[in-house]
Amino acid sequence: MLVNDAPGTVGQPRSTAIEPLLSIRNLAVHIGQTAAVSEISLDIFRGEFLGVVGESGSGKSVTARAVLGLLPAHARVTGSITLDGEELLGASDQRLRRVRGGKIGLVFQDALAALDPVYTVGDQLVEALLAHHELPKKEARARAADLLAEVRIPQPVQHLSRYPHELSGGMRQRVVIASALIADPALILADEPTTALDVTVQRQVLDLIAEISASRGTAVMLITHDLSVVAETCDRVTVFYGGLLVEEAAAVTLFDSPRHPYTSALLRSLPRLGTQGPFEAIPGSPAQIRGELSSCPFAPRCSFVTEDCTTHVPREHSDAHGRHRCLRPLQSGST
Amino acid sequence: MSSIIEVRHLCKSFRSGRGLGKGSISRAVDDVSFTVERGTTFGLVGESGSGKSTTARIVVRLLDADSGNVLLDGQELLGLRGRELFRVRRRVQMVFQDPFASLDPRWKVGSLVAEGIRIHKLRPRAEQPDRAAEILELCGLSADVARQYPHEFSGGQRQRIGIARALAVEPEVLVLDEPVSALDVSIQAQILNLLAELQERLSLTYVFISHDLAIVERFCDQIAVMSEGRIVERGSPQTLYNAPAHEYTRTLLSAVPVPDPRRRRQRVPREARDEVRP
């Protein structure tokens, strides 16, 4: 049995008067017999940079797809997802199409797949601009060039007439970010935006997203498997494992003193420059949830496992430090 | 120590670009030389397009070079044909990045591992399944997995199968092309530790191709940094990390994300964003 409280305020205390921009409550997603996401509650506030970290099968991308209404038709979704107070679960396709690319801008991993190869960069941006704004075509083209300038593409006017294949991976991802900004979104949902990029380009794209978030006041939900990327960008971090949100804390707190054994083990397994000796692996394989979750999904790999961990799903605890789902959380200050 | 692999002035160009006749020539590998000592790990690190994978593919003879030499124990590999090439291939094996693409889905794991043993006639037919099981166990898998198909395994387990397949022919050198890049972080460490253990037990020599500086630094004895087809700097991990001589190495090192939010806060001013926060 899962028991869920509203997520506690984390990091700096927030007054209850401030409404979250996006609010996920008790989200559960079943795909076939698999509980892909179990009882996830999560808030994002305006202007905030939130990291969602998890391995394959953790439920991080399924949660993102639920927010966007992009889950397969046979997925069973329960709970609530509100954006600016408006319920998105069960909203019409037409409504959800307005949300995607409207209030929520999207940046996915594969920029080449996100762009249409037979249209120029300019044509694609103009088409999307005209879908969201009533504008003369000429003005739309000028705005498209402004967007390319905002994402630091040199010679923006010339780049309007380029095709996606003529651009480098980093430039393509900048074009995708530009198109995400078209409707002046309140939230940018970025799913592994730099995973396919080289480190030097990754650095530039992360800086760009942080810069845009700062200058426009746009909230960012950054979904990634990479804790280092999160450390570089996020104010607050949530960690997913086996379809559960296992920990949430302010970035500095989470990296300094993780409470969940998974977070701690993941931090120790990271290769860091300037360290020696064998790598600290987490034994076992990432969780594969079949059927309903009936125990802590991390229990088979956890070095602190107790019998209780294998008989029921830990309930959520929240305190000044953050939130976690663990029966034997690590003490603050120990890693 | 003696060198087992010696690469001298390797060059390889590709014709790239638009349609027939109009292509331009790109120098993928441009005068690359290095030596790998027996029993050590040599890291080739660089970004996409740096030529590191092309170099690896030439060393295992999956690609032909335009010019240069690759010596294995003093014997020239480039230009070898037929029976001689077959014998050399047993000694130098490759492990690929994507364990989902490199294993034939229609073959059982036992057959995948036994294939090399059969082709190179390393064991009598009757002993081949046992030998395959033995190698799987060496790679941290139970002997039972021989009866299963690749799709039944997670990425980390598949990479173990890929390594077992390479080890089946009892090679001296493994060329590892981004062997952990496709894996979850918690699994990467498992595979790297397995590789380190196997190197020790079997006295293997590794050529380790990677874009990940943090891994290369910890895993390799010698590192060469590649950019635009050339080796721009080489040395021990300590030297490269503490005193990078080449500008490109410094750029690469400073781009690696640091898993410490405090370090970032000093680098990127946050004032602008704090203003718009509630």
Does residue A325 contact residue A317 with C-beta atoms inside 8 Å?
yes
Q: Are strands A34-44 and A219-224 parallel, antiparallel or unpaired?
A: unpaired
**Listed residue (B227, B140, B235) closest to B192, CA to CA:** B140
Contact with chain B for residue A110, Cβ under 8 A:
no
Q: What is the distance in angstroms between the Cα of A121 and the nearest Cα belonging to chain B? A: 20
* Tokens at B174, concatenated: 């493994």
Contacts of B188 in chain A (CB under 8 A): 269, 271, 279, 281
Quote the pLDDT of residue B1: 63
Answer whether B264 sits within 8 Å of A233, measured CB to CB: yes
pLDDT at B270: 39
- Give the closest residue to B236 by CA, choosing from B40, B92, B53: B40
**Least confident range of A122-131, B90-99, B113-122, B258-267:** B258-267
> A200 and B213: CB-CB below 8 Å?
no
Domain B1-91+174-182+200-278 has CATH 3.40.50.300: yes
Query: Quick check: ipTM above 0.90?
Result: no
Q: Determine the pLDDT at residue B269.
A: 42
| Model pLDDT for residues B220-275, shown as the tens digit of each residue | 999 999 999 999 999 999 999 999 999 999 999 988 888 888 877 544 443 333 33
Locate the chain B residue with the closest alpha carbon to A251: B261
Q: Tell me where in chain B the CATH 3.40.50.300 domain(s) lie.
A: 1-91+174-182+200-278
Contact residues, A window 246-305, toward B, CB-based 8 Å cutoff: 251-252, 255, 265-267, 269-283, 285-286, 288, 301
Measure the N-to-C terminal CA separation of chain A; round to a whole number of Å: 29
Q: Are A137 and A131 in contact (CB under 8 A)?
A: no
Q: What is the residue-level pLDDT of chain A in tens, covering all 335 positions?
A: 444 444 444 444 444 558 899 999 999 999 988 899 999 999 999 999 999 999 988 999 999 999 999 999 999 999 999 999 999 998 999 999 889 889 999 998 887 788 999 999 999 999 999 988 899 999 999 999 999 999 999 999 999 999 999 998 899 999 999 999 999 999 999 999 998 888 889 999 999 999 999 999 999 999 999 999 999 999 999 999 999 999 999 999 999 999 999 999 999 998 888 887 888 999 998 888 888 889 999 999 999 999 999 999 999 999 888 999 999 999 865 44
What residues of chain B lie within 8 A of the CB of A215, using their CB? Answer: 272
> Is residue B182 over pLDDT 80?
yes
Distance between A9 CA and the closest CA of chain B, angstroms: 13
Q: Do B255 and A274 touch (CB under 8 A)?
A: no
Question: Looking at residue B23, what is its pLDDT?
Answer: 66
Q: What is the mean pLDDT of chain B?
A: 90
Residues sharing a CB contact under 8 Å with residue A105, sequence separation 6 or more, in sequence order: A179, A180, A181, A182, A183, A185, A187, A188, A189, A218
